Copies of this chain bind each other. A is one copy, B any other.
């Protein structure tokens, strides 16, 4: 399950931040549903945000079967990137400022899930990542809805993670410069649920959203 670095995934700079082991890649993907997928459309790059979820050694996303994003993903290789910003890193000089972050880049040719039953199971898996246990309580998908929904996946065979963490690393000569230095953590949190207009009485909102981090355990 380890990806050897390809010329694209090998980091030329900042080698200490690179990680190619599968467990690290999986953890970064599982901590952040938002992905940005780069497609080739008529020879030009187009980067589209969407939600991703991982099942084993593949990463999945979905969309309308009629969408340009899905058609582009099935027509040519993509780069899927997932990034979580963890902190602003404030140093004593401008150059040493940075951010702490976790990111994954995955390259390859996505494939469509065509079998309707498999497609439904993958969509249930997506919901289970975001709101565990919700899928069986929903009004079931119709065959028409399932046809209109495309599910695609990409093997995590050419993927790498990059992680920046820790305090600023000012050189010794800057350590006494009289400005505050340290990190400002960033966290994504969930706010108070807002019921839909006309919601029937007696229904309670879900409480667990594990894809949004330990705060929402």
Q: Interface on A for B, CB 8 Å cutoff?
A: 8, 12-13, 34, 36-41, 44-49, 51, 64, 66-68, 77-81, 83, 85, 87-88, 90-95, 97, 99, 101, 103, 105, 107, 123, 127, 130-131, 134-135, 137-141, 145, 148-149, 167-168, 170, 174-200, 203-206, 209, 212
B38 touches A38 (CB 8 A): yes
Chain B residues with CB under 8 Å of A36's CB are 36, 38, 47, 49, 81, 83
A179, B196: Cα distance in complex, Å: 11
Number of copies: 2
A90 touches B134 (CB 8 A): yes
Chain B residues with CB under 8 Å of A185's CB are 190-194
B194 touches A183 (CB 8 A): yes
A101 touches B46 (CB 8 A): no
Chain B residues with CB under 8 Å of A212's CB are 186
A177, B88: Cα distance in complex, Å: 44
Kindly report which residue of chain B lies nearest to residue A46, judged by CB atoms: B79
Chain B residues with CB under 8 Å of A93's CB are 138-141, 145
Chain B residues with CB under 8 Å of A107's CB are 44, 46
Chain B residues with CB under 8 Å of A200's CB are 176, 178
Closest 5 pairs between A and B when the two form their complex, measured CB to CB: A185-B191, A36-B36, A38-B38, A38-B45, A38-B47
B177 touches A138 (CB 8 A): yes
B79 touches A135 (CB 8 A): no
B177 touches A187 (CB 8 A): no
- Shortest CB–CB separation between residue A89 and chain B, in angstroms? 9
A180 touches B197 (CB 8 A): no
B45 touches A77 (CB 8 A): yes
Chain B residues with CB under 8 Å of A94's CB are 123, 127, 135, 138, 141, 145
A79, B78: Cα distance in complex, Å: 14
**A180 and B167 in contact, given A45-B77, A189-B187 (Cβ under 8 angstroms):** no
